Amino acid sequence: MSNYCHPGRAGGGGSLANNQDLPRLIQVKMLMKTRWFTVEGVLHLLVAIGAYPGGLAMMISPDGSLMGVEGIVDKIPFDSLLVPGVVLFTVNGVGQTVAGILSLRKHRLSPYISAVLGLGLMLWIIVESLMLKHVVFLSFVYFGIGALQTSIAAYLYFLTTRP
């Protein structure tokens, strides 16, 4: 059994940092990869935590009254906030939660899913800002998180696919 694939398992040598059988460069690479998967997972879960209440509020009160934005429906191409609420809840809520769990588990598909959701989050913010014709501070924060998710996903992709 290879130490590189299965650290900590029987025959795997235990801790990544203390494994003397692996060259130092591989040990460092494995530790970096582990840390970035964790950062990626936390970012996904932060986005999800913010998306659930907003999406739920839009679905419960599609006229925007629950969030105090009754006139916002006039600025969007939908009759109500129901469709944006469902998309927010499912993509940025459920999707980001699943991606967060996959990232924390260091799943091999995690970089791909993270890149798609990071790009999707940035696109969501751009479309939202264009439709509403204004940008708030949180728009910059979420756009930045989307950019970070995409960048980390690209880094993890190259880190996991190159020897």
Give residue 123's pLDDT band: very low, low, confident or very high (50, 70, 90). Answer: very high
28 pLDDT higher than 70: no
The number of domains in the chain is 1
Residue 76 lies in a domain: yes
What local confidence, expressed as pLDDT, does residue 104 receive? 95
Q: What is the mean pLDDT of residues 93-100?
A: 98
Q: What DSSP letter does each residue of 14-61 carry, written as one string?
A: S-STT-TTS-HHHHHHHHHHHHHHHHHHHHHHHHHHHHHHHHHHHHH-
Residue 33 lies in a domain: no
Domain that holds residue 157: 41-161
Residue 105 lies in a domain: yes
Residue 3 lies in a domain: no
Least confident of 11-20, 28-37, 120-129: 11-20
Q: Cβ contacts of residue 13 below 8 Å, gap of 6+? A: 3, 7, 19, 21, 22
Give residue 4's pLDDT band: very low, low, confident or very high (50, 70, 90). Answer: very low
What local confidence, expressed as pLDDT, does residue 8 receive? 45
Residue 1 lies in a domain: no
Amino acid occupying residue 53: P
Residue 13 lies in a domain: no
Residue 28 lies in a domain: no
13 pLDDT higher than 60: no
Residue 7 lies in a domain: no
